[in-house]
Amino acid sequence: MKKRVFFTLMVIFIWANITIAFNDGHSTVTGIVKEISRGSIVIGDTKYILSPKCKVKIEYNVDNAIYMKPAKLFDLKQGDSVNVVKIANTITEINIERWKK
């Protein structure tokens, strides 16, 4: 009986550690850019901090296929539809969705 309980607890412990190890805490947000300033961006009603190594991509449509190309932060304009990857309140990646226009 003690071996079975010990084994069960070890399996739960290992599973919990694996789950935590693969969760890096990132999430995605989709919205419209309301304001852009140096080092921050407002999407919807929420202000986010831009990471110094923030990656920017433009998604565009050609013959009903969506393609991505690298972009710069100055390609981002107020009113653009974006999909961003964030960790906590810091944006690490921005996808400008030009295909929605």
Would the pTM of this model clear 0.85, i.e. be above it? no
Q: Please state the domain extents for the chain.
A: 27-100
Query: Would the pLDDT of 32 be above 80?
Result: yes
Which among 41, 17, 13 has a CA at the least distance from the CA of 29? 41
Is the pLDDT assigned to residue 8 strictly greater than 60?
yes
Q: How far is CA 66 from the centre of its chain?
A: 19
Reported as a single tens digit per residue, the pLDDT across 74-95 is 999 999 999 999 988 899 999 9
Burial class (CB in 10 A: 0-12, 13-18, 19+), 27: exposed
Q: Is-contact 91 84, C-beta < 8 A?
A: yes
Fold held by 27-100? OB fold (Dihydrolipoamide Acetyltransferase, E2P) (2.40.50)
Q: Is pLDDT at 41 greater than 90 in this prediction? A: yes
The residue behind tokens 């981002």 is 76
pLDDT at 6: 73
- Average pLDDT rounded to a whole number, residues 62-79: 91
The one-letter code for the residue type at 20 is I
Q: Band of the pLDDT at 47, cuts 50, 70, 90?
A: very high
